[in-house]
Amino acid sequence: MPIAINEIRVGGYYSAGKKCDQLRKVTEIKKDDKNRNRVIYVSKSIKIKNRTFSFAATLANPALEQTFASACCKELTSSEIDALRNNSIILASE
């Protein structure tokens, strides 16, 4: 089930993908030349330890907020984030 657009926030962690096995972190939300919100985020697998985040889309054409929301399964809770940190999925510097 997609998330609501109003749930998207800078710094938020989200599970995404068909199997909800992708981890996304929003780094910025900015307006494009048509005054639409674009979501800049980094991503990685939620299953692979010790991997760093990388930008998921080109910075020249970030995802529209509706596209981002539709791809996300849910925003992660603080306890889910802590569990991913404890399992070396989210690294200390992230």
What is the per-residue pLDDT for 64? 96
What residues form DSSP beta bridges with 23?
15, 44
Tens of pLDDT, residues 35-70 = 999 999 999 999 999 999 998 777 778 999 999 999
Whether the pTM exceeds 0.85: the reply is yes
User: What's the length of the chain?
Assistant: 94
What is the per-residue pLDDT for 62? 93
Residue 63 and residue 42 in contact, taking contact as beta carbons nearer than 8 Å: no
Residues 44-69: b if buried by 16+ CB within 10 A, e if exposed:
bebeeeeeebeebbeeeebbbbeebb
Tens of pLDDT, residues 71-94 = 999 999 999 999 999 999 999 999
